[in-house]
Amino acid sequence: MVQLKQQTYTNYIKDRFGFAGEGHLTDFMVRHAGELLLGGHLNLNELARNHGAPLEVVYTPQISTQIERMYAWAAQARQESAYAGQFLYAYATKANFAADAVQTALDAGAHYETSAAADLIIAHSLFRQGLLPADRLICCNGSKEPNYLAAIRALRLDGCELVTPVLDDRAELEALLACPAPLQFGVRERAAGNRDGTHPGNDRFGLTDAEIELVAEQIANSPHQLVLYHAMIGSQVEDEAHFLATLRTSVAAYCRLRRRVPSLRYFNFGGGIPTSGYRLDFSFDYAGFLTRLMATISSTCAAYDVPMPDLIGEFGRYTVANHSVFLLEVGAVKRGQPGQPDWYLMNSSMMVTLPDALLVEGQEFVILPLSDWDRPAVPVRLAGRRTCDSDDVYPRPHRPPLMLPDAGAGLIVAVCGVGAYQQMIAGRGGAHHCLSPEPARVVVSAQQGQLTTRYVPQQDQAAIMRLLGYQPRPMPSERPLPLPVAASSRPLRITPVVVGAGGLARRRIHPRPLRLARQAAAGD
């Protein structure tokens, strides 16, 4: 009987995704000479050789690339649809608050979107430093606690004319009407969030049509202006035709309001633009989508005889998802149950690294091996070794397994799409599940056309313990163990033995003195 040769990982990728083995794998990952290059420039294999794994790799030029691409698609769409309004790109900073990410987005021309007081306080600091230019909109979304309202007022009184509170409740307007400097306001349409009943979480945001009418009247009788209408359809564009049909209803509401409120000029269609970090077979016609979106808005405005608004898109996940990857190492392989894939036990925690895999139904990530593409491709599941938790696995139990080379222990994989939300949910610098330490981090930025690199060591165990209230104390000096009264006067010797490089120290009691002590105690 002839045994068929297993398919190599290279052939699996070729047959499954049409990738020839070299060149562009995705719009952010290139394989060249057998090695993976993030953004086509940053060699992940080399970083793994130099720094080991686990390792977080941050490549901020990819953020600039994402923004530049979207502006180019929008310009193409405006031309093809003859759209008269402007297109504004706002970075939804809740996706990644890291200074490197925010500053890169601002440098690339992004406007700013906030969701809480802490976020706006960061914006205020950037504004004072001149890093957030005065000509950028700051759209303040979300429900506004007193400290959020105070932060809006403080930023406006500090001279920021384009801070724009988007009203989520009538009480927010009542609190801000007394601001001595004129504010420009936005309103968020509540109906847009859950018209089809598939996004119940969005139902809590925004104002009803009747509330918008009352708010518009109050603002009209004040020194302030109503300038923005926000309709957030959903968290992702899952069905373009449905998205545009739903959006048309919101645009019609904008138009009716615009006929009575001439200061209204911005239509914010929110976020939801998908990104390529989660599927190798990803495909989305960005320019075509924006062209059809602009055509929809244009035709609706024409029907109501109102000017086309300036459009605002809030892009969080799209902006930053692909600028970061985690490099994780297979520490050991454990055989699966009969008929089930083997377990690749990772020297990390999947729960901490990829919280969206637990929180978002069906969330996937592109995971690619750095080496061994010539070895057979086998189905596997990943599991974190740094927790003792049955949920610390990827993919989820009801999802198909991954296909990876059968290289086993020592294989390093790149987990893509982790630049948005993953660290913001898991946290940075704190105490994580099962005290899993944060990996070392390499941050690569572009400065005046040159790439600069910053290395941040792995999170320190002592710092984690201090966060939890433990006071680190020096280890007690070694002392002989007390013997029973009848024991020999010869002391027991305790000798430290170090197990493996980087392993934990264990202590071994030498057997001969212990045996003598037991004999003495027994009267032998």
Q: Tell me, what DSSP letter sits at residue 475?
A: P
**Does 474 reside within a domain?**
no
Is 358 in contact with 427 (CB distance < 8 Å)? no
**Does 66 reside within a domain?**
no
Distance, in Å, from the CA atom of 254 to the CA atom of 67, rounded to the nearest integer, reads: 27
Residue 24 and residue 118 in one domain: no
pLDDT of residue 482: 55
- The radius of gyration of the chain's CA atoms, rounded to the nearest angstrom, is 29
Max CA pair span of the chain: 109
pLDDT of residue 521: 39
pLDDT of residue 435: 76
**Does 4 reside within a domain?**
no
Distance, in Å, from the CA atom of 367 to the CA atom of 404, rounded to the nearest integer, reads: 9
SS3 66: helix
pLDDT digits (tens, 9 = 90+) for 299-336: 999 999 999 999 999 998 899 999 999 999 999 999 98
Residue 294 and residue 335 in one domain: no
Split into its structural domains, the chain has a count of: 3
**Does 70 reside within a domain?**
no
Residue 378 and residue 499 in one domain: no
Distance, in Å, from the CA atom of 406 to the CA atom of 123, rounded to the nearest integer, reads: 48
C-alpha angle 86/82/300, rounded to 5°?
A: 80
Pairing of strands 225-230, 266-270: parallel
pLDDT of residue 504: 35
**Does 71 reside within a domain?**
no
Domain with 365, as residue range(s), is 9-58+322-467
Residue 228 and residue 349 in one domain: no
- Which of the residues in the chain have pLDDT under 50? 1-4, 483, 485-524
Residue 452 and residue 331 in one domain: yes
* Tokens standing for residue 298: 């244009």
* Tokens standing for residue 483: 């013997």
Of 446, 467, 488, the residue at which a domain comes to its end is: 467
Which CATH number belongs to the domain containing residue 410 in this structure? 2.40.37.10
Residue 237 and residue 98 in one domain: yes
Which CATH number belongs to the domain containing residue 149 in this structure? 3.20.20.10
H or E stretch at 15: helix 9-17
Residue 495 and residue 436 in one domain: no
Residue 48 and residue 168 in one domain: no
**Does 310 reside within a domain?**
yes
Residue 252 and residue 192 in one domain: yes
Residue 440 and residue 519 in one domain: no
- End-to-end Cα distance, the chain: 69
Is 433 in contact with 389 (CB distance < 8 Å)? yes
pLDDT of residue 3: 41
Instruction: Supply the mean pLDDT for the chain.
Output: 85
Q: Which residues pair with 30 in a beta bridge?
A: 24, 37
**Does 69 reside within a domain?**
no
Predicted model pTM: 0.85
**Does 77 reside within a domain?**
no
Residue 390 and residue 337 in one domain: yes
- Name the residue with tokens 């052939």: 11
Residue type, 328: L
pLDDT of residue 208: 93
- Name the residue with tokens 């384009």: 162
* Tokens standing for residue 492: 């027991």
Residue 199 and residue 116 in one domain: yes
Instruction: Give the start-end residues of each E strand in 141-260.
Output: 163-167, 184-188, 225-230
